[in-house]
Amino acid sequence: MPCPTKEFRIMNPIVSINKLCKTYASGHQALNSVSLDIYEGEILALLGPNGAGKTTLISAICGIVSPTSGSVTIGGYDNLRQFRKARELIGLVPQELTLGAFETVWNTINFSRGLFGKKKNTHYLEQLLKDLSLFDKRDSELRTLSGGMKRRVLIAKALSHEPRILFLDEPTAGVDVELRKDMWNMVARLRKSGVTIILTTHYIEEAESIADRVGVINNGELLLVEQKQSLMQNLGKKQLIIELRETIDSIPASLNHYALDLVNEGQCLAYTYDTLSKQTGITALLQAISAAGLSLRDLHVKQSSLEDIFVDLVKS
């Protein structure tokens, strides 16, 4: 596994997952020997298709699912044997809208705070509700809230005890654009205050825009964890788009040994190359093109997005 950037590397991991396996009673193996270190202050995005094991991984870390084997330490404490010390550090926002029905917003966040053994702090909780635009709903019963509001209440509950590590299991599923933006602002603020954030998402743009590192899970296996930039560099492909002056029907035979595609109804040639290889072959290609009697109008370069990388990884 590649090293995280310098600022993270000098610290010990705040969450350390060691060969975690989980086989459900049904016999389904949801996690297959997952090992992962998470560093203080980073934002880690976990990507993976439905049923990949993201929720199972988070649940096993937080103590909701008992792992079949393997171990997890949080802040240096074993999450089972020293569960008090370990769990105090964690806030969890579950994927499902699992809330009670009849208690009020205010009571439920006070309940959460107390459950984690923290002294009452009206000022902090009021501010929290204001930050999440829930303050005017504080006396409403949970069952009367909309889905997006419930999602925010779950976030408020997770933050009510001032955790150092926050797990967000698909926080933006079913959330409107406005709220999604607010949520990412909040994540940025939390991160500034030193909170480590682990989130799962299906929106790859999200991971792309806010995460420091990205992990990809499929079929219970962690396929890779990497710095977002190096992931894009290493696995990303670049495409050189060569616009021609006149359209052609087929690629001239002299260009056959280049991996070229004819795109845009014969107006452009697309040349895909690996950014890592020493020789991209661009110079030779351009010479060969002019030798073939084609003249160029324009050139531009396209880089593959995280989404392309993800699709490639999960498919293979």
List the one residue out of 104, 163, 164 whose CA is nearest residue 134.
104
Residues 74-103 that bind ligand ATP (CB under 6 A): 95
**Binding characters for another protein, 73-102, by CB under 8 A (x = yes):** ----------xxxxxx-x-x-x-x-xxxxx
**Minimum distance from CB of 24 to ligand ATP (Å)?**
3
**Binding characters for ligand ATP, 18-57, by CB under 6 A (x = yes):** ------x-x-x-x-----------------x-xxxxxxx-
Alpha-carbon separation of residue 81 from 19, 66, 91, 241 (angstroms): 17, 12, 19, 57
Q: Which residue, 48 or 163, has its beta carbon nearer to another protein? A: 163
Q: Which residue, 111 or 245, has its beta carbon nearer to another protein? A: 111
Tokens at residue 171, please?
Answer: 């926080």
Place of tokens 């990412």: 184
Q: At what angle do helices 122-131 and 105-115 cross, to 10 degrees?
A: 120
List the one residue out of 88, 43, 71, 78 whose CA is nearest residue 215.
43
Q: Which residue, 19 or 28, has its beta carbon nearer to ligand ATP? A: 28
Q: Which residue, 125 or 154, has its beta carbon nearer to Mg ion? A: 154
Choose the stretch contacting another protein; rule: CB under 8 A; options: 3-11, 110-118, 121-129, 202-210: 110-118
> Is 147 among the residues that bind another protein (CB under 8 A)?
no
The correct pick among 107, 140, 280, 305 for binding another protein (CB under 8 A) is: 107
Q: Name which of ligand ATP, another protein, Mg ion, none residue 221 binds, using a CB cut-off of 5 to 8 Å depending on partner kind.
A: none
258-262 contacts, C-beta under 8 A, 24 or more apart: 258/285, 258/288
Torsions phi, psi of 30, nearest 5? -90, -25
> Is 64 among the residues that bind another protein (CB under 8 A)?
yes
Please state whether beta strands 213-218 and 43-47 pair in parallel, antiparallel, or not at all (unpaired): parallel
160: left (phi over 0), alpha (psi -120 to 50) or beta: alpha
The correct pick among 117, 205, 209, 263 for binding another protein (CB under 8 A) is: 117
Size of the site for ligand ATP (CB under 6 A): 13
> Is 62 among the residues that bind another protein (CB under 8 A)?
yes
